[in-house]
Structure 1
Amino acid sequence: MHVPKGFAVVTPYIFVDGAEKYIEFLEAAFNAIEIGRSKAPNGRIANCQLRFDTATIMVSEASEQFPASSGAFYFYVEDADTAMERALDAGAEKIMDVENMPYGDRQGGVRDTSGNIWWVSERLSAAPYF
């Protein structure tokens, strides 16, 4: 089996209304880097691939056939406090303050401009969760 570099065997694929603005949000909020894009004949974004360090997600403009979807993402960062500030500055809504968690992460939560939840987490320990 071949899985492209930066992708996982399960890769999130998000359909959103206003894909161009959403991509801009992900770049501003989470330092996502666009690595590929294809457009449909009508000019809408059919697929945009965005890299987050070692992970990749895909974003597409929602349509009648593929309506907007939402999900929740657990996102590891170097500094949870700084990452939360950046996400809020980019337009995310805070849903949980950054705090040290009993499972070894420093974590906060935001809802992005398309309704997705991002758990912004900094691992404080090299120990496993359980």
Structure 2
Amino acid sequence: MVVPPGFAVVTPYIFATEADAYVRFLETAFEAKEIGRSTASDGRIANCQLRFDTATIMVSEASEAFPPSRAALYLYVDDADEAVVRAVSAGAEKIMDVDDMPYGDRQGGVRDPSGNIWWVSQRLSSEPYF
């Protein structure tokens, strides 16, 4: 099996209304880096790849055939408090305050402008979860 560098065997793929604005949100809120984009003849995003450190997601413009999707994503960051503030400033809705969790993460939650939930976590322990 061949998987492109930066991708995983399972890679999240989000269909978003106003995908270009959604990509800009991900760049601002979570410091995602656009690594590739293809556009349809009308200029809308057919596929955009965004890198989050070691992980990649894909985003496309939603359509009648592929309506907006909703997902819950778990994002590790260096500083959960700062990342949640940045995401809210970029347009996300805070759904859970940042707090220390019993499984060794400092975590908060936001809902992005497309309705996806992001659990923003900072690992506090070097121990495995279980």
Measure, in 2, the Cα distance between the counterparts of 1:94 and 1:106. Answer: 15
Relative to the length of structure 2, the TM-score reads 0.99
What residue in structure 2 maps to residue 70 of structure 1? 70
Measure, in 2, the Cα distance between the counterparts of 1:90 and 1:125. Answer: 29
For residues 38-96 of structure 1, the C-alpha deviation after alignment (integer angstroms, 9 at most, x for no partner) is 01112211000000000000000000110000100000000100111110110100000
Relative to the length of structure 1, the TM-score reads 0.99
- Kindly state the Cα deviation for residue 23 of structure 1 after the two structures are TM-superposed: 0.4
**What is the aligned length?**
130
1:101 aligns with 2:101: yes
Name the amino acid aligned to 1:68: P
Measure, in 2, the Cα distance between the counterparts of 1:24 and 1:44. Answer: 14
What residue ranges of structure 1 are gaps of 5+ in the alignment? none
1:51 counterpart SS class: strand
1:4 aligns with 2:7: no
What residue in structure 1 maps to residue 88 of structure 2? 88
Map of 1:44-55 to 2, 5 A cutoff? 44-55=44-55
What residue in structure 2 maps to residue 24 of structure 1? 24
List 4+ stretches of structure 1 deviating above 3 A.
Answer: none
2:47 counterpart SS class: strand
